[in-house]
Amino acid sequence: MTRLLAAPEAELVFAALLLTLLAGLVLALLAARSVLTCILLMSVFSLTMALWLMVMDAPDVAFTEASVGAGVSTMILLGAALSSTDVIPSVRPGRFWFPAVACLAAFIGMALALSDLPVFGDPGSPPSSYVGRLYLEHTPHDIGAPNVVTAVLASYRGFDTLGETSVILAAGVGVLLLLGGSLNSRDPVSEDVSLRISAGSPVLSVAARLLIPIICLYAFYVLAHGEFGAGGGFQAGVILAAALILHALVFGVRETMRALPVGVVRSCAALGVLGYASIGFIAILHGGRFLDYDALLSPVFEAGLPSSHLAGGHHHWGQRLGILGIETGVMLAVASTMTAIFYAFAGRVSRSDEAGAA
């Protein structure tokens, strides 16, 4: 079979084409004069970005970008934009030129560094040579999980990820502090009209009833499968939150809040981070260091377990258990935080609607 381009080069050309599409979307965003258009363009941008990341061999990131960018953040943006004006007035030229020149200068500054950057796809480039390669080489021996991204995220750099998860929880707390909303689910959230699509349509409710359990199941599959393929706690958490948001969109936020009360969601967000950190402390109690999963199981106990695959004779059940444990914590924290944020925005929308009607 003759090919126009050799496979590796075709990949690079395809990536460059998709990147051109992304830049075009940014241009469209720059020119957009309506907030709704901006939000939808942002959503399309995220989805295209996910495609591009897939071509760039980053399925984990693509997965996250598709579920976060095109799913949850679009919903949050829509929730926040619903009751504000849609039209964006044009900028006065006097206020435009100085930032424009500054951005142009930033662009030129970055472009000047171009000659020092490695060639696109260069296998021997400094970023791909040292630590990245070490992770690839040592993961089967150290961790015993095929997915190196999960191994780095959850085990090698588990402490870093604990910080990230805490930042997400902190952001959730920030939103709740700003938007308020009491713990009591019977509180003002009225029958929301704005955030609900085609209220009472049988087609949607049947489709949603079919889909929501499958999406939840899929979230747990992504969580458990994160060691072997693309996926992990972050993706699973966002997918779970997306299932809950879908429920809220079809059946109304009030129904969702009855199924999953606000208090439960908030406690779960904190519990997720707590669970993550406590796995670190359990490792300390077993004589290891913080988040040292090898210390989670005693060597005697671990020797009795069957050898895990791809481990090359090493037993990695402690790592397995630790990674699954912290990923569960991450999923709980991310899903609950995203849901709590959505609840806060949805509650605001219905309240401001009431104020508008009164």
Partner 1 sequence: MTLALALTPYVYGLGFFMMAAGLLIALTSRHLIKRLIGLGVFQTSAGVFYILLSKVSGGTAAIRLEADSPAARSLASRLDAAYIATHGVDGVVYSNPLPHVLILTAIVVGAATLAVGLSIIVRIRETYGTVDFEELAALEAKALRDGREDEA
Partner 2 sequence: MLEAIAWIGSAFIIAAVGLSIAGAVGVLRFPDVYTRIHAASITDTGAASLMTLGMLLMAGLSPAAIKLCIVWLFIMLTSPAAAHALAGAAFGSGHRPILGDPRRPSEDET
Interface residues with partner 2 (CB under 8 A) are: 1, 197-198, 201, 203-204, 207-208, 210-211
Residues 109-148 that bind partner 1 (CB under 8 A): 110-111, 114, 117-125, 127-128, 131-133, 135-137, 139-140, 146-148
What x/- string results for residues 218 through 237 when contact with partner 1 is judged by CB under 8 A? Answer: ----------xxx-x-x--x
Q: How many residues bind partner 1 (CB under 8 A)?
A: 118
3-state secondary structure of 333: helix
Task: Answer left, alpha or beta for residue 329, where phi above 0 means left and psi between -120 and 50 means alpha.
Answer: alpha
**Lookup: tokens for 9:** 């080069």
Cβ closest to partner 2, residue 208 vs residue 324 = 208
306 binds, among partner 2, partner 1, none (CB under 5 to 8 A by kind): none
Q: Rounded to the nearest whole angstrom, what is the least distance from the CB of residue 126 to partner 2 in the complex? A: 35
Cβ closest to partner 1, residue 18 vs residue 283 = 18
- Judged by CB under 8 A, which of 1, 2, 90, 287 binds partner 1? 90
* Secondary structure (DSSP) of 41-95: HHHHHHHHHHHHHHHTT-HHHHHHHHHIIIIIHHHHHHHHHTTS--B-PPPPHHH
Instruction: Output the CA–CA distances (angstroms, integers) from residue 325 to 14, 158, 218, 224, 244, in the order listed.
Output: 38, 12, 18, 10, 23
147 binds, among partner 1, partner 2, none (CB under 5 to 8 A by kind): partner 1
What x/- string results for residues 31 through 70 when contact with partner 1 is judged by CB under 8 A? Answer: -x--x--xx--x--xx--x--xx--xxxxxx--xx--xx-
CA distance 260 to 101: 50
**Lookup: tokens for 189:** 């959230």
**Lookup: tokens for 214:** 């499958």
The answer to whether 356 contacts partner 1 (rule: CB under 8 A) is no
Maximum Cα–Cα distance across the chain:
74
Instruction: Find the radius of gyration of the CA atoms of the chain.
Output: 24
217 binds, among partner 1, partner 2, none (CB under 5 to 8 A by kind): none
Identify which range of 163-171, 184-192, 277-285, 294-302 contacts partner 1 by CB under 8 A: 163-171
The answer to whether 273 contacts partner 1 (rule: CB under 8 A) is no
Q: Determine whether 306 is exposed, middle or buried from the number of CB atoms within 10 Å of its CB (0-12, 13-18, 19+).
A: exposed
Residues 2-21 that bind partner 1 (CB under 8 A): 5-9, 11-13, 15-16, 19-20
